């Protein structure tokens, strides 16, 4: 890796925080009776010290600036800090720095308690070696002073500063550090060039490559459960949360996930396929899986992405080996060419009783061929899932799906984030 310690600005470098900042600035100006600048001018508030921006951009009288900052912070503390998301690829970058023995420190003009709150919510705190921000009672934020505080008492070695605005670049240059400007944030290439950035990159991926941080290992996460367990609802919610946190995801499903496998899915699930033999059904699932693994899952893992898959081989074992009573050995045998050595790193299994699951699915939509089954069939499927989870307790996270959507989701998110971190 090129550097031992890397200092990161927060807004516009690690997080896409413009919405919350711009809305909070507009709220403060309206509250104090000042005109709200047009959108392109509001963007200029992201990154620079707020005190100076209110004076220079919004033309707020100096005697009103402290009150404007107070009103801004009231809204930002309440809702603005969550009108935010991590740039895609940032968690991989920070974790890669840590794996390579480097150190990552946030240096931000944002009040330190607020910055810590943002870092905790988006899971960045677990990937950092430190965070330095301003105090609530500071009128101005001196980035050079903040950099000095961040490195105080450390042996930082080779240091680089990464930021999206001239304030980040100029302060680090005065300290004699290498500077990297990012154009995916809120500053322009022209601004960064004029500030004297030593290197300019356009994406978080380009930043990772320049820093010589290795590509992360891909991770394969699957979600299992009977129809009616709420699995797909929880998976969609988790997907949105992980994307908000900046993880690079591929979201897919079985059967399906790619054009050929989706065509097989239509055949397998079509109510017109009633009467299909159990062996044919099992072989069709395996065929769809073979194409899906090779065209979607393996390439995504090779690219270092997290694959979130709605069902995988465990579904075939639970539904065909146990539900259809074809036997686990047969199902594993016909799926061996499909999956090869591929196995999920983590499987979240949502379990509820058959009566609850059947009631939910019938209330939600018209049943497909797989759902037109008797309760005894689903009892066998549940038994199969329980057996699988007992065989591989380290891979499975079993969650009671009988609770409310929010209660179940809290357990799902905790299990997945614990694994990822």
Q: Which residues are annotated as a binding site?
A: 225-232
Q: Which residues contact 87 (CB under 8 A, 6 or more apart)?
A: 13, 14, 15, 16, 184, 204, 246
Would you state the structure tokens that stand for residue 260, as one six-digit string? 């050929």
What's the Cα-to-Cα distance from 361 to each of 164, 268, 305, 411, rounded to whole Å?
49, 18, 32, 22
Secondary structure of 296-360 in HEC code, one letter for each residue: HHHHHHHCCCEEEEECCHHHHHHHHHHHCCCCHHHHHHHHHHHHCCCCCCEEEEEECCHHHHHHH
Using an 8 Å Cβ cutoff, are 30 and 82 in contact?
no
Of 244, 246, 248, 239, residue with least CA distance to 219: 248
DSSP assignment letter at 295: I
φ and ψ at 11, to 5 degrees? -70, 125
First to last CA, the chain: 22
What's the Cα-to-Cα distance from 412 to each of 388, 393, 407, rounded to whole Å?
19, 16, 9
CB count in 10 Å sphere of residue 212: 11
Q: Which residues are annotated as a binding site for ATP?
A: 225-232
Of 303, 386, 297, 277, residue with least CA distance to 338: 297
C-alpha angle 226/230/234, rounded to 5°? 125
What's the Cα-to-Cα distance from 352 to each of 325, 358, 394, rounded to whole Å?
21, 10, 21
């Amino acid at each position: 890796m090129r550097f031992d310690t890397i200092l990161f600005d927060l807004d516009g470098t690690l997080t896409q925080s413009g919405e919350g900042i711009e809305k909070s600035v507009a709220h403060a100006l309206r509250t104090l009776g000042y005109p709200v600048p047009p959108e392109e001018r509001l963007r200029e508030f992201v990154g620079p010290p707020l005190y100076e921006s209110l004076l220079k951009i919004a033309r707020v009288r100096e005697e009103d600036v402290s009150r404007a900052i107070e009103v801004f912070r009231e809204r930002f503390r309440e809702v603005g800090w969550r009108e935010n998301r991590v740039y895609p690829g940032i968690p991989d970058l920070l974790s890669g720095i840590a794996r390579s023995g480097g150190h990552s420190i946030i240096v931000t003009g944002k009040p330190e308690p607020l910055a810590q709150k943002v870092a905790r919510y988006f899971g960045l705190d677990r990937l950092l070696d430190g965070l330095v921000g301003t105090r609530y009672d500071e009128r101005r934020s001196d980035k050079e002073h903040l950099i000095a505080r961040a490195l105080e008492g450390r042996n930082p070695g080779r240091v680089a500063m990464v930021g999206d605005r001239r304030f980040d670049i100029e302060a680090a240059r005065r300290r004699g550090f290498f500077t990297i400007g990012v154009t995916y944030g809120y500053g322009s290439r022209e601004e960064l060039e004029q500030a004297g950035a030593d290197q300019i990159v356009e994406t978080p991926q380009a930043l990772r490559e320049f820093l010589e941080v290795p590509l992360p290992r891909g991770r394969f996460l699957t979600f299992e459960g009977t129809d009616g367990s709420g699995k797909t609802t929880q998976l969609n919610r988790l997907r949105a949360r992980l994307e908000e946190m900046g993880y690079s995801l591929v979201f897919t499903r079985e059967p399906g996930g790619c054009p050929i496998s989706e065509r097989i899915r239509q055949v397998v699930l079509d109510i017109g396929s009633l009467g299909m033999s159990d062996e044919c059904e099992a072989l069709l699932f395996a065929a769809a899986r073979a194409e899906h693994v090779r065209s979607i899952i393996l390439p995504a893992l090779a690219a270092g992405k997290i694959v979130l898959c709605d069902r995988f081989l465990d579904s075939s074992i639970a539904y065909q080996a146990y539900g259809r009573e074809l036997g686990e050995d047969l199902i594993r045998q016909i799926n061996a060419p499909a999956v090869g050595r591929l196995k999920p790193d983590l499987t979240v299994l949502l379990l509820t009783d058959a009566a609850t699951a059947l009631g939910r699915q019938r209330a939600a939509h018209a049943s497909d061929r797989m759902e037109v089954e008797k309760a005894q069939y689903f009892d066998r499927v549940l038994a199969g899932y329980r057996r699988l989870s007992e065989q591989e307790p380290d891979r499975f996270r079993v969650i009671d799906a009988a609770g409310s959507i929010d209660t179940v989701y809290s357990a799902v998110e905790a299990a997945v984030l614990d694994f990822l971190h």
